[in-house]
Chain A
Amino acid sequence: MTEKASIHKQLDWKKAKVIVAGVDIGAVNSKALILLDGQPYASSHVKTLIPKESAFGTINAISDKTGLKLENIHSIVATGIGRSQVPFAEKTVSEIACAAAGAVNIWGPSVRTVLDLGGQSCKIIHCTDRGRVNDFLWNDKCAAGLGRSMESFADLVQKDIDEIGNIALQSEELLRLSDFCSVFALSEVLDSKINRVPEEQVIAGYHHAVAMRISTLVARIGLKTDLVIIGGLARNPAIIKWLEEILGVRRLAPKPAWDSTLTVALGAAMFADSFHRRR
């Protein structure tokens, strides 16, 4: 199971009064985040295979590096699609509420819309300056799996998932592909080879189609600024570029101190913190 963990060297969990954790089991990746007295201490990323195993995987990745064990953590909240498979979680909170809380914590109280581009689903969340959700929209079934389909697309064109966005940005022109669903788009990508369409135009075209589909979903619930974009696809520069272009709104830039894919796990950790304090 491929995993990676990053630790805040200056902090020492043995000295912390309150240790809480947020565990976000996503469709494609699972993440965990540890807070020591509200300070981010350790985080881990693990590829999701069997949700239960990935849950333990996120904690083990951290304990291997820090010695921090499950029993040392005062309160754990699980979220994400696999949250019911985290036996050691005290409570679960939806990834919608966690995304809003985490986003406002990272980007500040001006955030009003959080666009979560997860592996399997895409959610648009309206929230208050205190990170409370007041409205949200889940993608319809035909727009499912936009994140995972990007991985299938990368395999089809034999490119690495982390570079595919940059390749897309290099192409001025783009092949117009169906922005209705990924099955149609992927099938048209294959058939585009008949007309010998240059590869970067196909790659740019696919990114544009995904961005169009997401922007239609955003428009259905409305976009209130400031906008924050999180989730796996948020790391793809071409998706961000076209989303900002189509929506006519620039998102808040990612904070250097924060990996945006940890936003939901942070929200869960914040809930764990407040549950612990209220105990």
Chain B
Amino acid sequence: MKKVKIQAGLDAGHINTKAVIMNGREVMGYGNAPTGFDIVGAAQSALNNAMENTGVSLEDLEGVVATGIFKDIIDSPSLKVTGTVPEFKSGAKGALFLNRDSRTIIDIGGNVHKAVSYDQNGDLLDVVQNDKCADGLGIYYTTMAKALGLNEQGLTKLALKSTKKLSVAIQCGLSAETDAIDLMCQGEEIADVAAAVLRYIAERVADMSTYLSLTKEVVVAGGIARSQVIIKHISELLNQDISVIEPPEYVGAIGAVISEEEE
């Protein structure tokens, strides 16, 4: 009988750091913290947060597996990092663990987004990442919510009430933002502007994913995936039904533990 091992997964991303604590292959609890500029500090507080939520202490942890853009930076002894896993691998493993039928994951991160296709063991088939003009979708999503005086979920709720299809420029977040503000100053309904803003995000993500041959189940991860308006629009553009992995923010962290556990 496999000795049950308690481990933590730390996904240190551009904008948020996510932590998960697992007992073997069973998730015990989560924690997170904004990455900000003190990356080690953010990883520490994300892990502490997870430990508080699960009642697990640092001594109980047999190891911490790091992934995400800053995986190689969070190397302070207090974090007990025992291994690192590249982001596209942890994404694939995490997605497969949470949804056996999935073969492609679309991961919308805070700053960059990517799509990874994998086989039935979660081994890499192909990966595509966004171009620089499409950077910062997460930053843009938060900025536009703030510009309309809402939070992210509020932006999605508002967009649901849209009745008129408006267009914002699509090259980058900046151009889309400039057009969104221009539309508001033209007196357009704020719900319609919100919908155009979310359509921009969905179009950029969907377009990138068309490089991969999307056959089997496609799943979406990342905080932005909580917006059902964006998900609906991505699936329309790809004419493929896609599902959101639950919880979308922690796929990478879970995948990191799973990859290490399978070694």
Contacts and interface: CB of A to CB of B under 8 A. Distances in A.
Interface stretch (A37-45, A46-54, A253-261, A271-279): A46-54
Contact of B37 (A50, A52, A85, A158): A158
B108 to A, nearest CB: 15
A27 B136 CA distance: 21
A51 to B, nearest CB: 5
B3 interface: no
A193 B132 contact: no
A68 interface: no
B184 A149 contact: no
Given A27-B181, A158-B36, A158-B37, A49 B143 contact: no
Given A52-B187, A158-B37, A183-B136, A149 B182 contact: no
Interface string A136-159: 000001101100110110011110
A60 interface: no
A184 B135 contact: yes
A158 B35 CA distance: 10
B136 A187 contact: yes
Contact of B175 (A27, A144, A156, A191): A144
Contacts of A27: 181, 185
Contact of B133 (A82, A156, A158, A183): A183
A196 interface: yes
Interface size of B as a range: 35 or more
A49 B37 contact: no
Interface string B173-201: 11101100110111100100000000000
A187 B132 contact: yes
B238 interface: no
Contact of B185 (A85, A144, A191): A85
A145 B36 contact: no
B149 A187 contact: no
Interface in B128-176: 132-133, 135-136, 139, 142-143, 147-149, 169, 172-175
A50 B188 CA distance: 10
B237 interface: no
A158 B190 CA distance: 28
A199 interface: yes
* Most central of B14, B35, B73, B139 by chain A CB within 10 Å: B139
B178 A157 contact: no
Nearest to B149: A49
B174 A182 contact: yes
18 contacts: A51-B185, A52-B187, A81-B181, A81-B182, A84-B185, A120-B181, A141-B169, A148-B147, A148-B177, A155-B142, A184-B132, A184-B135, A186-B136, A187-B111, A193-B70, A194-B69, A194-B70, A202-B37
| Closest 10 pairs (CB-CB, A-B) | A187-B135, A144-B178, A49-B149, A190-B14, A82-B185, A183-B172, A158-B36, A199-B37, A81-B185, A145-B174
